[in-house]
């Protein structure tokens, strides 16, 4: 599973290592659905207020405050409201939600019941990436069991609240993790993002008010209802409240998903949880801190950076989905970024010209550089292409393609220059 | 995204079995009656499973007829998503992740071992129809890299030796 016993308070991974933690009986034995019962005894407004107080921010990458997102749902009920869980986990480096889907699906279902009650949604969907076949089966079993136990359906826990939940598998498209592309896909179309505004809170699934939250976000909600927003807000650091699951992959001794308070020093996360950098800290070259779209940090920055939204933004990168990819000194940065550029070229939906053409162009130049066939002026050309993609597309995939390239040129300019001058990598 | 083009099949026009039709009805219950088109992705998954692991032109036409969705719309959905196979694939579809975390943890060596074992390049199917080898983007199991998927199952923390064992164990 890749997880270790760690000190400190866990919020979303609290039951995940129990034997048969995915079963309803085990989940209930360890407190599942008590928070939902509590929430159903409150008003919708009170539930939203509790989540607002918690300062919980969306864990899918954007970091938007969850309670505020919920409060954008119109107060009237003239149209149906929908709740969607975004389980389309697909950004390279990211694999935290999969553990919840596999090992604590009832925590997610409980979080969705609470969220649905708060935004008055009678129907919800878990949009799960298509490749997660076994995870979808396990989640479906949990949903079936929850229905059988009266936890879902026309009368949730005898409260009179009606909530129907379905599992919907995607079919292989990273862009469907973008919320409006996800909606298009759920409507049975190509997953191409919509222009915003209008935002899903007003015009979402089937043109109705819709809230979309990540698996980890929704899974944090039961604990917040159980122990209070103020308690959750007290975890972590200011503006980055609570805990976060970091997926630590690459060149560490113990890759794994680790839930820790936000604001933890990166060095502590790597040394104390992930077993340290392969070959020791001195062997660290850099870290991609939040998933493949986030700009790489140099080892110098890694030594002191803390893992929270503000510190990473200040360092010119992002917390993203908390997907920490560790690169040791054996890594050719040009090759690493070239691999990522190939990913974004493959995943561009083709709707916006700057992204469709730009991602292909970036990949082509990165590939050329890596192969030792770069030309003088390629670095400037890459930067120019990045500037012409960023902010000029319907969704953030274009920016996500540009950021790692521009970030790597900023952090490791000498490696790019060496590739062009010598036709090979300065590493190995 | 999915760059393949649809092929035609040699078998007769596909038709869902009675059991598969019951699954279609179950799928429809998940969506509001006026938005039945939402069932398209699940029905395409079902069709792929029912009709030999891929979607031929005839299968797409059948799905269009069955769902009442215009054939061009069915076609554009089937070609957009990478999991819909528009050409026949082997009994075992071996999909190997080579994205960054897998690459950092040695997917190059895993790929080399696999290609030598199966004697296949990317996108190729073995002459006996047992294996198709495909390079895929992130499988989302990065802390257990390198990873590959064979049909519906993931295999993680791979080494060149382990991957050969996995292939040898397949029935």
**Contact between residue B139 and residue B97 where contact means Cβ atoms under 8 Å apart:** yes
Residues 6+ apart with CB under 8 A from B21: none
Residue range A268-297, pLDDT digits in tens:
999 999 999 999 999 999 999 999 999 999
Tell which residue, A413, A293, A405, has the closest CA to residue A358: A405
**Contact between residue A192 and residue A349 where contact means Cβ atoms under 8 Å apart:** yes
- Identify residues of B whose CB sits under 8 angstroms from chain A CBs: 1-2, 30-32, 35, 37-42, 44-45, 69, 73, 76-77, 80-84, 98-101, 103-105, 137-145, 149, 152-154
What pLDDT score was predicted for residue A427?
A: 85
B3 vs B158, more confident = B158
Contact B142 A132 (CB under 8 A): no
Confidence grade of residue B12 (pLDDT, cut at 50, 70, 90): low
Tokens at B38, concatenated = 């939402």
Tell me which residue has tokens 């007769």: B12
Residue range B102-135, pLDDT digits in tens:
999 999 999 999 999 999 999 999 999 999 999 9
Contact B140 A2 (CB under 8 A): no
User: Which among B83, B103, B140 has CB closest to A89?
Assistant: B140
pLDDT at B5 over 80: no
Q: B39 contacts in A (CB within 8 Å)?
A: 188
User: Which among A132, A169, A347 has CB closest to B41?
Assistant: A169
Contact A327 B76 (CB under 8 A): no
Confidence grade of residue B170 (pLDDT, cut at 50, 70, 90): very high
Continuous segment of H or E residues that includes residue A214: strand A210-214
CA distance B93 to B170: 12
What pLDDT score was predicted for residue B10?
A: 67
Backbone angles phi, psi at B109, to 5 degrees: -70, -35
pLDDT at B89 over 50: yes
Complex-level ipTM = 0.95
Contact B45 A169 (CB under 8 A): yes
What pLDDT score was predicted for residue A9?
A: 81
Q: A247 contacts in B (CB within 8 Å)?
A: 142-143
What pLDDT score was predicted for residue A1?
A: 41
B86-107 average pLDDT score:
97
- Is the Cβ of A206 closer than 8 Å to some Cβ of chain B? yes
B49-67 average pLDDT score:
96
CA distance A145 to A277: 42
What pLDDT score was predicted for residue B11?
A: 65
pLDDT at B8 over 80: no
CA distance B131 to B94: 7
Residue range A377-423, pLDDT digits in tens:
999 999 999 999 999 999 999 999 999 999 999 999 999 999 999 99
Q: Give the distance from residue A131's alpha carbon to the nearest chain B alpha carbon, in angstroms.
A: 7
β-pair partners for A153? A163
Show the low-confidence residues of chain A (pLDDT under 70). 1-8, 428
Residue A223 half-sphere exposure toward CB, CA atoms < 13 A = 23
Confidence grade of residue B4 (pLDDT, cut at 50, 70, 90): low
What pLDDT score was predicted for residue B1?
A: 47
**Contact between residue A101 and residue A135 where contact means Cβ atoms under 8 Å apart:** yes
Tell me which residue has tokens 């989540």: A51
Looking only at the bridges linking them, the beta strands covering A284-288 and A323-328 are antiparallel
Contact B77 A336 (CB under 8 A): no
């Amino acid at each position: 599973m890749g997880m270790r016993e760690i000190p400190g308070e866990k919020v979303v991974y609290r039951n995940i290592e129990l034997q048969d933690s995915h079963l309803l009986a085990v989940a209930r034995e360890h407190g599942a659905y008590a928070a939902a019962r509590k929430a159903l005894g409150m008003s919708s407004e009170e539930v939203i207020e509790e989540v607002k107080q918690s300062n919980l921010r969306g864990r899918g990458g954007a970091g938007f405050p969850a309670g505020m997102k919920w409060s954008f749902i119109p107060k009237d009920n003239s149209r149906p409201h929908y709740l969607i869980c975004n389980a389309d986990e697909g950004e390279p480096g990211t694999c935290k939600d999969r553990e919840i889907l596999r090992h604590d699906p009832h925590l997610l279902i409980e979080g969705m019941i609470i969220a649905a009650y708060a935004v008055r949604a009678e129907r919800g969907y878990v949009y799960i990436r298509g490749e997660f076949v076994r995870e979808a089966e396990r989640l479906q079993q949990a949903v079936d069991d929850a229905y059988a136990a009266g936890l879902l359906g026309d009368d949730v826990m005898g409260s009179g609240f009606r909530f129907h939940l379905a599992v919907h598998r995607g079919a292989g498209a990273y862009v469907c993790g973008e919320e409006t592309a996800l909606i298009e896909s759920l409507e049975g179309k190509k997953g191409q993002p919509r222009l915003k505004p209008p935002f899903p809170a007003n015009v979402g699934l089937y043109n109705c008010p819709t809230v979309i939250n990540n698996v980890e976000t929704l899974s944090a909600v039961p604990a917040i209802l159980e122990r209070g927003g103020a308690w959750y807000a007290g975890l972590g650091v200011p503006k980055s409240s609570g805990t976060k699951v970091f997926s630590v992959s690459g060149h560490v001794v113990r890759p794994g998903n680790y839930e820790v308070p936000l604001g933890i020093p990166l060095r502590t996360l790597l040394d104390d949880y992930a077993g340290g950098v392969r070959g020791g800290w001195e062997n660290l070259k850099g870290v991609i801190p939040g998933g493949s779209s986030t700009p790489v940090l140099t080892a110098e920055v890694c030594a002191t950076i803390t893992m929270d939204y503000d510190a990473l933004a200040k360092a010119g990168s992002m917390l993203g989905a908390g997907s920490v990819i560790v690169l040791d000194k054996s890594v050719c940065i040009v090759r690493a970024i070239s691999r990522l550029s190939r990913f974004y070229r493959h995943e561009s939906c083709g709707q916006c010209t700057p992204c469709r053409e730009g991602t292909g162009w970036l990949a082509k130049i990165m590939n050329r550089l890596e192969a030792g066939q770069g030309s003088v002026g390629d670095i400037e050309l890459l930067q120019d292409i990045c500037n012409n993609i960023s902010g000029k597309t319907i969704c953030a995939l274009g920016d996500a393609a540009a950021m790692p390239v521009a970030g790597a040129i900023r952090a490791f300019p000498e490696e790019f220059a060496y590739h062009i001058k010598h036709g090979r990598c300065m590493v190995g | 995204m999915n760059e393949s083009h649809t092929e035609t099949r040699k078998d007769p026009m596909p038709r869902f079995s009675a059991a598969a039709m019951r699954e279609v009805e179950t799928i429809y219950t998940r969506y509001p009656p006026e938005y039945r088109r939402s069932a398209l992705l699940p029905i395409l998954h079902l069709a792929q499973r029912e009709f030999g692991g891929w979607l031929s032109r005839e299968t797409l036409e059948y799905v269009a007829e069955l769902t009442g969705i215009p054939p061009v719309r069915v076609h554009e959905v089937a070609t957009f998503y990478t999991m819909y196979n528009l050409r026949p694939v082997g009994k075992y579809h071996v999909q190997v992740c080579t994205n960054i975390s897998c690459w950092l943890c040695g997917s190059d060596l895993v790929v080399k071992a696999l290609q030598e074992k199966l004697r296949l390049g990317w996108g190729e199917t073995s002459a006996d129809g047992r294996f198709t080898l495909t390079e895929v983007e992130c499988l989302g199991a990065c802390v257990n890299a390198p990873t590959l998927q064979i049909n519906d199952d993931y295999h993680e923390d791979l080494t060149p030796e382990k991957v050969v064992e996995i292939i040898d164990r397949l029935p």
